[in-house]
Amino acid sequence: MGRRVSGSSESRFSAYVEGLVGVIGHADRAQPLRDYCTGLIMPGERKSVEPMAAVTAPARVAAQHQSLLHFVGEGHWSDEQVLAKVRKMVLPRIGQHGPIEAWIIDDTSFPKKGRHSVGVARQYCGRLGKEDNCQVAVSLSIANHHASLPVAYRLYLPQEWTNDSERLRKAGV
């Protein structure tokens, strides 16, 4: 009650994604970015490109899968510039609800079946509550009582990765 909404959630999402288009480079990456972001917020347990392709383009799943794989795998944009743009767009909205009150450092784990994704190793996986095959990322977020915003994000590389220069080279690290 009494809450002002500036446009529908769809139009606000579209404006948000359009704001990111300028920092990802070529205009031909705009539609895959839209599709990828849409896939991230759609229902579904797995957020890999295969199920995202099925949700975002059910009539042409194979082509969409290839498009999303290319977008993610050949993403030659700057993560720092993308995060800076997100901060520029989102921080003023968070600030409307009060000042930043906390900086939060946290780790996030992603269970994985294989061993070829960068950083995957048998290590503690908080999501599973035990040691298992996973990737781990460390993030820095800022927050107030209304919302939080990740402002920095790095993939953790276990020692078995950092000590294997050939593996790092193959993975493009």
Over residues 59-103, the pLDDT tens digits come to 999 999 999 999 988 878 888 899 999 999 999 999 999 999 999
Residue 86 in domain: no
**Which band of pLDDT confidence, cut at 50, 70 and 90, is reported for residue 1?**
very low
pTM: 0.73
In DSSP terms, 130 is beta-bridged to: 125
- Do 109 and 163 belong to one domain? yes
Note whether 104 and 160 are same-domain residues. yes
**Same domain, yes or no, for 64 and 107?**
no
Query: Is the CB of residue 98 less than 8 Å from the CB of residue 146?
Result: yes
pLDDT of 102 reads 97
pLDDT of residue 45: 78
> Based on the domain organization, do 106 and 167 belong to the same domain?
yes
Are 163 and 128 in contact, with CB atoms under 8 Å apart? no
Same domain, 110 and 155: yes
- Provide the residue range defining the domain that includes 47: 9-73
In order, the DSSP letters of the chain are ------S-HHHHHHHHHHHHHTTS-SGGGHHHHHHHHHHHHSS-S--SHHHHHHHH-GGGHHHHHHHHHHHHHT--S-HHHHHHHHHHHHHHHHHTT----EEEEEEEEEE-SSS-STT-EEEEETTTTEEEEEEEEEEEEEE-SS-EEEEEEEEE--HHHHT-HHHHHHHT-
